[in-house]
């Protein structure tokens, strides 16, 4: 499980506990953790795409 997915899961749990207990701060922390997890997933995806572009450019150079 990726770091982003773990943050999202942890955030969902915090948000749920916050809603059940009426703790608005805990609920907000959960939403923040979920957003942080989404950002990590996006950053990981961008890194993978950049690597793919780099690899495809390297293949184009090798073909010449």
pLDDT > 70? residue 63: no
pLDDT of residue 47: 76
**pLDDT tens profile 1-54:** 889 999 999 999 999 999 999 999 999 999 999 999 999 988 888 877 877 777
Tell me the whole-structure pTM to 2 decimals.
0.71
pLDDT higher than 70, residue 55: yes
Residues 37-56: b if buried by 16+ CB within 10 A, e if exposed: beebbeeeeeeeeeeeeeee
The answer to whether 19 touches 31, Cβ cutoff 8 Å, is no
């Amino acid at each position: 499980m990726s770091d982003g997915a773990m943050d999202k899961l942890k955030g969902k749990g915090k948000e749920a506990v916050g809603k059940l207990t009426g703790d608005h701060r805990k609920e907000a922390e959960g939403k923040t953790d979920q957003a942080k997890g989404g950002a990590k997933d996006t950053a990981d995806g961008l890194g993978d795409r950049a690597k793919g572009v780099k690899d495809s450019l390297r293949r184009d150079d090798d073909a010449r």
